[in-house]
Amino acid sequence: MGTAAATFVLVDLLAGFVAFSLIVLGTLWYFAYSWTVLAGEAASAGGAFGTAAQLADATGLLFVLPMAIALVLYLARSAFQLPKRLWRAGMGTPG
């Protein structure tokens, strides 16, 4: 496999990992947000939705998941330097 093919495969793999991670984290954040909204609506109607521990977990995730998304983006930015280094190594130019 040539350098160009290896670089393409690495970029494709990294893009897939990043996209999957961001989609999952975003979906979990929206689920936590929806849980807090439903709990608030149920409480305003005099009912209950879930337990207090579940509401506390959902509220905590509203603050933790954006930091996890930022971490994934930071690590992705660093990881995408690898294909560039692989390409330069294959072409014989210093990194």
32 lies in a domain?
Answer: yes
Note the pLDDT tens digit of each residue in 48-83: 888 899 999 999 999 999 999 999 999 999 888 888
**Percent over 70 (pLDDT), the chain:** 95
40 lies in a domain?
Answer: yes
Read off the pLDDT of each residue in 24-30 and give the average, rounded to a whole number.
97
Q: Rounded CA gap, 50 and 58, in Å?
A: 11
Range of the domain at 13: 3-90
Number of domains into which the chain is organized: 1
42 lies in a domain?
Answer: yes
pLDDT of residue 59: 93
85 lies in a domain?
Answer: yes
17, 30, 64, 85 from 72: Cα distances, Å:
10, 17, 13, 20
95 lies in a domain?
Answer: no
20 lies in a domain?
Answer: yes
Nearest to 31 by CA among 15, 52, 12, 54: 54
